């Protein structure tokens, strides 16, 4: 078994290979003069683990090309972050069912798909091969333990993220709660006031995705007004679009961390061991 990866998942893929005691295949990535993506992989094994987050259109195409380059092997696909998963139905007439489009495209040429904290588990049903989802909630909990906070309050920014916050909190038997979020538009979020015992406490806001950071920036502002001592935030997928990381730090949040499902300089939690464990099991 060997591991192969797209350009944007190189570090995570290498860690997965290390955990599996195997190697990462060398791939040359270039472009044709007209901008089309090209790649050439060396030494394909009979059994390949293909690791690649879909973070943009190029990484999606690169992943499909990589699967095709491995077409003589049994391929398992690890999709640490799947962009388009949030468009998990037609919300309005005339819209695409984007998550289904991506899932169908990525089912070709692979025998199994492994995702990490996919935004909506229903999306797994759109793959035409068996698809399993892993959660990094416990790993985020382990990271929070390293902060040595005194009696932290683990907070989900909305009710939908409550189960995730509960799993994170179980790592330290901490209290957990959620705020009420109303999305006003694609980028604007309003947090409805809620009675929290955040006063004089360290709060850790946890979520699956930080995209614009609007959700958490609004929550942080509100919590500081309520007298929170300090606020930290941790997520699985650090999308950080439109300057989100800087925006969050500017609100006075002490630290913003994410996992390496999207490789960032603040990726201080790794999905590698959990992915390797799942690959060994199946
Ligand atoms: C929404 O359901 C997700 O769990 C996240 O809360 C959301 O994607 C975060 O978006 P943003 O960072 O743009 O507020």
Distance (angstroms) between ligand 1 centre and the Cα of 260 equals: 18
Q: Would the CB of 70 count as within 6 Å of ligand 1?
A: no
The whole-number pLDDT of residue 196 equals: 61
In the chain, the percentage of residues whose pLDDT exceeds 70 is: 95
> Does residue 67 have a pLDDT over 80?
yes
Residue 279 in 3-state DSSP? helix
What are the C-alpha distances in Å from 97 to residues 84, 90, 104, 123, 275? 9, 5, 11, 10, 27
Q: How far is the CA of 158 from the centre of ligand 1 (A)?
A: 9
- Per-residue confidence (pLDDT) for residue 193, from 0 to 100: 36
Phi, psi angles (nearest 5°) of residue 260: -95, 20
Ligand 1 within 6 A of CB of 83: no
Catalytically active residues are 181
215 Cα–ligand 1 center, Å = 6
Q: Which two tokens stand for residue 30?
A: 């270039």
Q: How far is the CA of 210 from the centre of ligand 1 (A)?
A: 6
Q: Each residue of 113-156: pLDDT tens digit? A: 999 999 999 999 999 999 999 999 999 999 999 999 999 999 99
For ligand 1, pick from 119, 210, 218, 247 the residue to mutate: most ligand atoms within 8 Å of CB. 210
Q: Is the CB of 115 under 6 A from ligand 1?
A: no
- On the CB side of 77, CA atoms within 13 Å amount to 33
> Cα separation of 189 and 282, whole Å?
40
Q: Is 236 in the pocket of ligand 1 (CB under 6 A)?
A: no
pLDDT at 280: 93
Q: Which domains does the chain have, with CATH numbers?
A: 2-135+271-281 (3.40.50.2020), 137-260 (3.40.50.2020)
CA distance 217 to 12: 28
pLDDT bin (cut points 50, 70, 90) of residue 91 is very high
Residue 46 scores a pLDDT above 80 = yes
Greater pLDDT, 195 or 224: 224
Q: Please tell me if the CB atom of residue 191 comes closer than 6 angstroms to any atom of ligand 1.
A: no
Average model confidence (pLDDT) across the chain: 93
Does 117 contact ligand 1 (Cβ within 6 A)? no
Give the angle 65-70-75 at the CA atoms, nearest 5°. 105
Q: What mean pLDDT is predicted for residues 171-196?
A: 73
Question: What value does the mean pLDDT take over residues 262-273?
Answer: 98
Please check the confidence at residue 261 and state whether its pLDDT lies above 90: yes
Q: Is the CB of 88 under 6 A from ligand 1?
A: no
Task: Give pLDDT, residue 200.
Answer: 92
CA of 34 relative to ligand 1 center, distance in Å: 35
Tell me the pTM: 0.92
- Residues 108 and 67: beta-carbon distance below 8 Å: yes
Q: Round to whole Å and give the CA distance between 149 and 183.
A: 31
Q: Whose CA is nearest to atom 5 of ligand 1?
A: 209
Task: Using pLDDT thresholds of 50, 70 and 90, give the confidence band for residue 192.
Answer: very low
């Amino acid at each position: 078994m060997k591991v192969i990866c797209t350009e944007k998942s190189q570090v995570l893929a290498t860690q997965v290979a290390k955990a599996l005691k195997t190697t990462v295949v060398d791939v040359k990535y270039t472009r044709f003069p007209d901008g089309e993506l090209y790649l050439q992989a060396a030494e394909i094994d009979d059994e390949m683990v293909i690791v690649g987050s879909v973070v943009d259109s190029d990484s999606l195409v690169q992943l499909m090309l990589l699967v095709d380059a491995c077409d003589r092997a049994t391929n398992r696909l690890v999709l640490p972050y799947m962009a388009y998963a949030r468009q998990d139905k037609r919300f309005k007439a005339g819209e695409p069912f984007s998550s289904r489009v991506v899932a169908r495209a990525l089912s070709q040429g692979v025998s199994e798909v492994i995702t990490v904290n996919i935004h909506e588990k229903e999306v797994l049903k759109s793959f035409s091969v068996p698809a399993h989802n892993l959660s990094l909630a416990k790993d985020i909990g382990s990271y929070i333990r390293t902060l040595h906070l005194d009696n932290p309050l683990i907070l989900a920014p909305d009710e939908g993220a409550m189960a995730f916050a509960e799993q994170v909190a179980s790592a330290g038997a901490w209290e957990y709660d959620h705020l009420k979020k109303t999305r006003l538009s694609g980028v604007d979020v309003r947090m409805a006031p809620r009675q929290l015992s955040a006063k004089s406490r360290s709060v850790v806001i946890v979520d699956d995705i930080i995209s614009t950071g609007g959700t958490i920036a609004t929550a942080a502002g509100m919590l500081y007004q309520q007298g929170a001592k300090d606020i930290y935030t941790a997520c699985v997928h650090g999308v950080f679009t439109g300057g989100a990381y800087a925006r969050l730090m500017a609100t006075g949040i002490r630290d913003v961390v994410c996992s390496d499902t999207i490789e960032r300089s603040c990726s201080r939690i790794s999905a590698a061991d959990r992915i390797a464990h799942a690959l060994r099991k199946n």
